[in-house]
Amino acid sequence: MKADSNKVLSSGMAEPQNVFEFAERVLMSTSLGDKLAHAPVALTLDPPKRGSFIAPSLPGRPDHLKPKSNDGKSPFPSADQIHNEEQRGILLHFFANHELLAVELMALALLKFPDAPDSFRKGILRTLQEEQNHTLWYLERMKDCGLNFGDYHLSPMIWSHISSMESPLDYVSRLSLTFEQANLDYAKHYSQVLARAGDHKTADLLSRIYRDEIAHVGYGLKWLRRWKQKAQSDWDAWHKQLHFPLSPIRAKGLAPFNEEGRRKAGMDEHFIASIRRYQASRGRSPDLYWFNPDVELAANDINWKAPQRLEKLAADLEFAFALAAPSSDDLMLLRNQPSDRHREALAHHNLTFPEVSPISELNHIRKNRKIRAEQPWGIPNPTLLSKNLGLELRGLLDDSISARICRNSEEIQAFIEESTHPNWLAKPLLSSAGRGLLKFTSDLIPSIKEDHLIEPWLNKEQEFSLLYQSNPSDQGGLRFLGICHQEVSHTGKWISSTSVPKPANGLPTEYSRLVANEVLPAAKKEVKNALSKLLESHNYHGPVCIDSFLHRTSEGLEWHQVSEVNARWSMGRLAHNLRLKLCPNRSLTLTTIPKDVPLNKSTIFLGDPTTAHTRIPIAIIQNS
């Protein structure tokens, strides 16, 4: 049939005769009426053209409906705002834009993949028509709320994530199983919210759309199963098909997770559990975290390679860091990936991992991902990690306990001969967890070949950390976070950290009185002010802890303000973060146990007992 004898649409375009013409009209027309007009019943399925179709930068739209990135973006209405008619209209405006983008992307898939199976293309045509209906329904209800399409911001986000699709499998993975899967959460949740608000008409509309979305997700799942490798699970096949910046987090709506709808769509329990616990950034660039507890040892050696025993220890402890430090928008690099079983066990305590990747991909991620900031356990800066940092802070506080850096036995002798202290410590300037610690008496001075911090060995009775967060001045500057009780072995090795809601909680009366009356006020004022000056001089921002302790003298119990300053993460800070997540009003102890100790149901196993090498990090919540 010749074009001039075809039926002419209101926009001047000829009535489409085949799939290519129909899809091109839907995608490129600047008339909303053309975009939402259903395909003719007698449409020819076989396309007249073969080969690749280049996607436009944006679909055709009238000027007032063109999507624009972050141009006057409107906030997504909360459930509490839905009682307001204008806010309901804004909600429908969001949904209408998403539905129209889905219509246009389905048209693009028909144009890009003309050689796909006929049954696949028929499924797209059927789904496209349903999405056209959804858009029309939303537009009608928006008018009832006093809004017109285009009155608010129209985001191109879905288009930017999907329009580069390279295969039909790409299409179902990105649209059907990602953005349409998220609609299972949105449609059901807001149908219920609107019903409670008394808007039964819109609630019923969303219920109808919800039923369609179940079928759309099921359609994508059917084709995923047909095209994936037989040995792959549905989850693994789909997850592998998504490429940055798209991730499974987009398949979850900002609404309660809807397991029932996913089951009705045909998803298996492994897929549902995997998507439920998946975490990643939804928009902002992630901070990049990894656990490098050997950072002090590596700070002065660019060729440092951690020995196997340290790597095994890091692999055992890194889950505690991964669960305590990053937010759900961040990216954590791990030596071992958490198993599904361990993720499920942690989910019972409302603990989830952020997005995770193998630590071996560090350089690849640096080159290929947009990262907001790198947040390792510690930055390998020898100045910031040196024991000398603590000496600098002591100088600002006029600490009465003398200490000095010495590089040989002669310098040690010259320093200690004026003191009455009989027992001494020598600490390598770059060490942690008691590594290289030497105890000696004034009668038996050790032989050393590098700089050590020399200080008296004091009779410690209670060790604790003063926790701070150093931010730029325009972000609040230095903040005092709290006090964490520490348990350390006689050789200086960390045993446990206990974070408490009130700093004097759980201490003997004598200790409690000193902490409440002297330690806490100074930590918030004098120590904080001195620490702020010190960190500003080194231009450091990040987590900080001051190791501190109470010790016994001939005059009674005294507070030694600064033992060490750690300008990095610390186990005490992890305990603090975990307490805020798990039990803000109760005390929490972070410690480790041997891997072969029988499991205790009251203990939260942060590490995975099935993969641990020697020890498992655990969290214990106190009863009171």
pLDDT digits (tens, 9 = 90+) for 265-311: 999 999 998 898 888 777 678 999 999 999 998 888 888 888 898 99
Return the H-helix or E-strand segment holding 247.
Answer: none
With a CB cutoff of 8 Å and minimum separation 6, the contacts of 162 are 105, 171, 174, 175, 179
Mean pLDDT of 337-359: 89
Per DSSP bridges, beta strands 331-334 and 287-290 are parallel
Q: How far is CA 492 from CA 375, 460, 547, in A?
A: 26, 12, 12
**pLDDT tens digits, one per residue of 363-401:** 999 998 889 999 999 999 999 999 999 999 999 997 777
Residue with tokens 């900031």: 373
With a CB cutoff of 8 Å and minimum separation 6, the contacts of 357 are 331, 332, 333, 334, 365
At residue 406's C-alpha, the angle toward residues 403 and 412, to 5°, is: 80
SS3 119: helix
Weakest mean pLDDT among 73-87, 108-122, 273-287, 438-452: 73-87
Judge contact between 329 and 286, C-beta under 8 A.
yes
29 DSSP assignment:
-
Please give the span between the terminal C-alpha atoms of the chain, in angstroms, as a whole number. Answer: 83
**pLDDT tens digits, one per residue of 455-508:** 999 989 999 999 999 999 889 999 999 999 999 988 888 999 999 998 887 889
At residue 279's C-alpha, the angle toward residues 273 and 282, to 5°, is: 130
The order of strands in the sheet holding 331-334 is: 355-358, 331-334, 287-290, 373-376
Q: What pLDDT was estimated at residue 501?
A: 92
Under the banding of pLDDT at 50, 70 and 90, the label for residue 414 is very high
Mean pLDDT of 558-567: 94
Which domains are present in the chain? 1-45 (no CATH), 77-277 (1.20.1260.10), 458-568 (3.30.470.20)
Residue with tokens 């994508």: 220
Higher pLDDT pick, 320 / 282: 320
Q: What pLDDT was estimated at residue 80?
A: 75
Query: What is the C-alpha separation between 292 and 569, in angstroms, rounded?
Result: 10
Instruction: Provide the residue count of the chain.
Output: 624
Q: Cis before residue 428, ω within 30 degrees of 0? A: no
Percent of the chain with pLDDT over 70: 95
**pLDDT tens digits, one per residue of 18-34:** 888 899 999 999 999 99
Residue 363 identity: N
Mean pLDDT of 400-416: 90
Q: What pLDDT was estimated at residue 7?
A: 47
Query: What is the C-alpha separation between 219 and 375, in angstroms, rounded?
Result: 41
Q: What pLDDT was estimated at residue 70?
A: 65
SS3 101: helix
* Exposure string for 333-342, b = 16+ CB within 10 A, e = fewer: bbbbebeeeb
User: pTM for the full model?
Assistant: 0.74
Closest CA to 579 of 606, 545, 550, 555: 606
Residue 59 identity: P
Compute CA 74 distance to the chain's CA centroid, rounded to the nearest angstrom: 24
